[in-house]
Structure 1
């Protein structure tokens, strides 16, 4: 049509055609402007929903009062799946949709009769975990679950006793599932968290927990025993993601507690509030991160022998264990890891890692900390600079005395099809969407 408009008319018929095409083009342009004027703009909160972000970013409150959503996933059409730690009205998963394009979810569908933390989307399935099993649901072409009542069971019988029972997981591009089996213990004492109780040597927990187990996506009803222990010496992993830029699994560990309480002659309260580090590891099959025998001290930048195993806060250990790629202050509770591959955010964020910190309890007498989303820049698959706070203010107050006082506790991260970043919280039951608005 455009070629015809620019071709010089030579007779009456061609002049008529020329005029008709010109009028058609004018009408089409008017309709386009009309449609654009009707398209809603994103409903960005005027105060960024109380959050503090770098210049140029804005926040949309997608939904709230959802219960306690943990990990989340977003399909190609912007539909959001949120895994609930505990059931709400008999539902363990919410599916949320924004039907008018303003960024706020107008519809909500619930399904799945089990609580849990893990959820993951690929092109064909939605995967979700309870504390003992991993299920999957078939998706249609629009990324919606076709049958909410009859999921396939991929893995069953996972160890779930005691503390650290949640089963976070992720997938790689080769059909492998990586599942956290948290240690039902703080430091592998005979009586957990009891002053004077000796440590077990060797730690028997490592045979069945405190690591990442690998399963397959092409086999149904795999038992716990059919999995492979991919990595060990990891006390509890809630946040993990597969880094596609260097083809490796990255995990964020919750470090041990109660150094001062259990060993007051070696650690004062202030030191115990900051140690040990929360650590981000890059894993290869067979790696050992050292728990319970060592911990990482981000102040000394060393692996330190745990006091239960003869350490004094200075003796090093773990010569055959891996080092973290990044270390954070202690007791921040990293609950989600996401490698950003979108194009919305500035270039510095490309292939870097976002980490959601839920905030922990073992920081007295120091102020509570965490309740933020941090960012670690990456280049060539490795950290290329110091970590920084990306999104802050989730707690709702500058100083809180208890995690229960926090308005929001970040627990999940997901990337939208447009490159926006979604953050869930299990205190306010909110899902936030962070967008970059600068042109």
Structure 2
């Protein structure tokens, strides 16, 4: 059966005749001594990813952009292949998935978050939040816990760049969208006690990660079509996507400013000096949807941040890594881990989430191609 599966992937052009980590090998470029294996190509628009201590892999399947079509899959190894077991169905555009301080798994749907016990044979959903806006252009839910058990949750912008308030002093939408909320929970029960706005001016925080030092890092997906607002600005080159160290009370610019304090064409009179500059500028439209800090058990090595570029333009469809210091602050240049990610039919790779597994390998979801991949030593 395994040989038939490999032969099918080779015939379709997805894989070479070689293997990687005992799995069919994806034909992409990697640094010497590393390869990419295909864990599964039978997933339904996979987004968030959570490797469990047991070695099983939980994958959120959004299954497109229609409401209530999503599911949660558990992949477990059977022999040399992974099998897919679907735990929940009918989820509303699920995206984020994290392990909580209580050992339960937390999953973000549009407008709400539920949790369950992964150790149960027939787990049950328990909703802890139902008050997220979930409206407009960026309704998906991403989240991360800090060491104190607080939950940081993305509230994406409802518009691209608040065009409806062009020329005004204030963007009304920015009071409720384009920010990160901080939820306080009472442990060990995990009861939500309230929330506050932690940081603003963040258009769409699809990538969030917490460093062991306590640094909260965000991947910013910047605006589109800036040339429509000002034809003198190249949409291919601007605005840069970003990596931001998220500090309580800080304003990161959206929708008024972009990059290092440049005024958005819609808000030329805004004082961008009061906003916080990005920690690192990424290529325009790279679309960082997943970031992960690597630890000493990683096959790639300690002291790195891995970033998936989901974008379909020239800078996208690849996975890169940045060096980080002891506080988790990244610095360039980027080291490409996966490149030349183009299938024979012209489709591009589309990495979403990236996570280190307990085996030290890096796991990656690819939504447009229905894949779960593993970056491994040869």
Q: Same-fold call, TM > 0.5?
A: yes
- Whole-Å separation in 2 of the counterparts to 1:86 and 1:215: 28
| Cα drift, residue 318 of structure 1 | 1.9
- Whole-Å separation in 2 of the counterparts to 1:396 and 1:285: 43
Residue 148 of structure 2 corresponds to residue 174 of structure 1: yes
| Cα drift, residue 260 of structure 1 | 1.2
Q: Which residue of 2 aligns with 1:417?
A: 358
Q: Residues 385 and 258 from structure 1, CA distance in 2 versus in 1: closer, same or farther, beyond 3 angstroms?
A: closer
Higher Cα radius of gyration: 1
Q: Residues 166 and 107 from structure 1, CA distance in 2 versus in 1: closer, same or farther, beyond 3 angstroms?
A: closer
Q: Which residue of 2 aligns with 1:20?
A: none
User: Of 193, 196, 202, which residue of structure 2 is paired with 1:228?
Assistant: 196
- Whole-Å separation in 1 of the counterparts to 2:243 and 2:296: 22
Alignment of 1:40-439 (within 5 A): 42-45=21-24, 48-86=25-63, 92-100=71-79, 102=80, 104-114=81-91, 115-122=93-100, 124-140=103-119, 145-148=120-123, 150-190=124-164, 198-218=166-186, 222=192, 226-244=194-212, 246-264=213-231, 266-267=232-233, 271-296=234-259, 302-310=260-268, 318-347=272-301, 350-360=302-312, 368-381=314-327, 382-396=329-343, 406-437=347-378
| Cα drift, residue 90 of structure 1 | 5.9
| Cα drift, residue 408 of structure 1 | 2.8
- Whole-Å separation in 2 of the counterparts to 1:207 and 1:310: 19
Q: Residues 108 and 318 from structure 1, CA distance in 2 versus in 1: closer, same or farther, beyond 3 angstroms?
A: same
CA contact (8 A) 1:56 1:436 kept: yes
CA deviation vs aligned residue, 1:375-419 (integer Å, no higher than 9, x gap): 11112222254222221133436xx9xxxx634310111111111
Aligned length: 353
Paired residue secondary structure (1:260):
helix
Q: Residues 85 and 199 from structure 1, CA distance in 2 versus in 1: closer, same or farther, beyond 3 angstroms?
A: farther
Paired residue secondary structure (1:162):
coil
- Whole-Å separation in 1 of the counterparts to 2:279 and 2:246: 10
- Larger strand proportion, structure 1 or 2? 2
Q: How well do the aligned residues superpose, as a CA RMSD in angstroms? A: 2.5
- Listed as ranges, the gaps of 5+ residues in structure 2 are 1-18
- Listed as ranges, the gaps of 5+ residues in structure 1 are 1-39, 192-197, 297-301, 361-366
Paired residue secondary structure (2:245):
strand
CA deviation vs aligned residue, 1:22-64 (integer Å, no higher than 9, x gap): xxxxxxxxxxxxxxxxxx993144xx40121111112221011
| Cα drift, residue 172 of structure 1 | 1.2
| Cα drift, residue 151 of structure 1 | 1.5
- Larger helix proportion, structure 1 or 2? 1
TM-score of the pair, normalised by structure 2:
0.86
- Whole-Å separation in 1 of the counterparts to 2:350 and 2:97: 18
| Cα drift, residue 369 of structure 1 | 3.3
- Whole-Å separation in 2 of the counterparts to 1:175 and 1:221: 11
- Whole-Å separation in 2 of the counterparts to 1:308 and 1:262: 7
CA contact (8 A) 1:255 1:279 kept: yes
Identify which range, 381-390 or 428-437, moves more after superposition: 381-390
